[in-house]
Amino acid sequence: MSFDIALRRRLGARDIALTFKADDGLTVLFGPSGAGKTSVLNMVAGLLTPDAGHVRVGGATLFDAAARVDVAPERRRIGYVFQDGRLFPHLRVRANLLYGWRLAAEADRWIGLDEVVAFLGLGELLDRWPRSLSGGEAQRVAIGRALLSGARTLLMDEPLASLDASRRGEIIAVIERVRDDLKLPILYVTHDPAEAERLGTQLVAMG
């Protein structure tokens, strides 16, 4: 079981509550804006603390309110890919990728820089600055940085939302390869039905 999630959190006047279990593959959190999808990702990542419940990924307990377990975000081995990539603007692509590598404990590193560069087709981008990249190129670099961080699972928060149609197709293909070739479990947020249907192996409705 890749994901065993039971979360509840009060945010302002709104209660966010979600319980689900999911096997390997890509699990889509699907629902309208404001449903709390990103908040769930942030709770899984450890960036937002639930009021109650638990987070278990790959059999490891990352949060359990009753048992008072709350693993620090940097020790959860979770790669987070945001809508806008969030590359470091003062670092070239190679240094952005290696930032992820340096974050990982040596024992947790399961893929190397050369493998990631080949897998994602980043060879011609390594010496470029983030500001010179297209949206699709920046997302490929962001995914590569997440893989190099020793991640055992990926969280993706609407990674296609800011891309035009041609770039969306490019990144969908990359995500499918991460899902199918690397067999990395993915928790994926979208409000796009076609995107959810194409990529998802399991759908969790929120709303």
Domain ranges of the chain: 23-47+72-205
Evaluate if residue 85 carries a pLDDT over 80: no
- For residue 10, what are its two tokens? 């009060």
Would you state the pLDDT for residue 1?
Answer: 64
Q: What is the pLDDT of residues 57-71, one digit of tens each?
A: 998 999 999 999 999
Would you state the pLDDT for residue 86?
Answer: 87
**Rounded-to-integer distance, Cα 49 and Cα 4, Å:** 16
Q: What is the pLDDT of residues 151-190, one digit of tens each?
A: 999 999 999 988 888 888 889 999 999 999 999 999 999 9
Pick the CATH number of 23-47+72-205 from 3.20.20.210, 3.40.50.720, 2.40.160.210, 3.40.50.300: 3.40.50.300
**Rounded-to-integer distance, Cα 199 and Cα 29, Å:** 11
Residue type, 16: I
**Rounded-to-integer distance, Cα 70 and Cα 72, Å:** 6
Mean pLDDT of 34-59: 94
Q: What is the pLDDT of residues 95-121, one digit of tens each?
A: 999 988 888 888 888 899 999 999 999
**55: helix, strand or coil:** strand
**Rounded-to-integer distance, Cα 135 and Cα 112, Å:** 24
How buried is 88 (Cβ within 10 angstroms: 0-12 exposed, 13-18 middle, 19+ buried)? exposed
Mean pLDDT of 122-138: 94
